[in-house]
Chains A and B, each alone.
Chain A
């Protein structure tokens, strides 16, 4: 089992839809969880960053962490065509020399 699994997609939704993107992981030591957004031919940009369990909201975006199920989600409300991008989850342990482990990414397309 890979350390981080992400739905491969691609995912296509109509404008205004609620989008749910998910990752599962196997390493119970992961404490920091991130979502990156990557537009075509660009580098990833940090979208959401959470520590341990719980929810975090930023505008139309909500990140959710369920450590008991080893499952994280990113919800996008009122999706817009400008949300069309690849979304990568990433996570790491708390220890000082822990590296980031990335999911493979899912490509989202929001149709006008």
Chain B
């Protein structure tokens, strides 16, 4: 079945540590996205990528980094510079980056917590 796979489901970070969240899709979508979801805050866009080897900052990119070396994969690194990383992280993809014209499909998320 086509879909988006995020791993791990749960992740714990120590102080000063970088951690990487995996996102893989087999939908042949060009565009991929990372969102952060906090209770009562809705979804906030961290980074997005319209095509391989290209990515753009979203609304809350500070303390995060991404890469897009393959069409299927869009990993997110939460760096030690992100002082409040505890959240539910969601990866999404769409056929292409074109706003609402291309609905986004989501993975089942990674819950990151601080040790």
Which residues of A are in contact with B by a Cβ distance under 8 Å?
Answer: 6, 8, 31-34, 36, 41-46, 49, 51, 88, 90-100, 102-105
- How many angstroms between the C-alpha atoms of A34 and B103 in the bound complex? 8
Tally the A-B contacts, defined by beta carbons under 8 Å. 70
- The reply to whether the CB of B106 lies closer than 8 angstroms to some CB of chain A is yes
Which residues of B are in contact with A by a Cβ distance under 8 Å?
Answer: 4, 6, 40-43, 45, 48, 58, 90, 92, 97-101, 103-109, 111
- How many angstroms between the C-alpha atoms of A99 and B111 in the bound complex? 24
Query: Contact between B101 and A94 (Cβ–Cβ < 8 Å)?
Result: yes
Q: Which of B41, B97, B100, B108 contacts A31 (CB 8 A)?
A: B100
Query: Contact between A32 and B90 (Cβ–Cβ < 8 Å)?
Result: no
Known contacts being A88-B42, A88-B43, A103-B42, is A41 close to B100, with CB within 8 Å?
no
Query: Contact between B106 and A45 (Cβ–Cβ < 8 Å)?
Result: yes
Query: Contact between B42 and A104 (Cβ–Cβ < 8 Å)?
Result: yes
Known contacts being A8-B40, A34-B100, is A99 close to B45, with CB within 8 Å?
yes
| Nearest CB of B to A58, in Å | 14
Q: Which of A6, A43, A91, A96 contacts B107 (CB 8 A)?
A: A43
- How many angstroms between the C-alpha atoms of A8 and B45 in the bound complex? 20
If A97-B97, A98-B98 are given as contacts, then 16 extra A-B residue pairs at C-beta distance below 8 Å, sorted by A number, are A43-B4, A43-B106, A44-B90, A46-B104, A49-B100, A49-B103, A91-B100, A92-B101, A93-B99, A94-B99, A95-B99, A98-B99, A99-B48, A100-B99, A103-B42, A104-B42
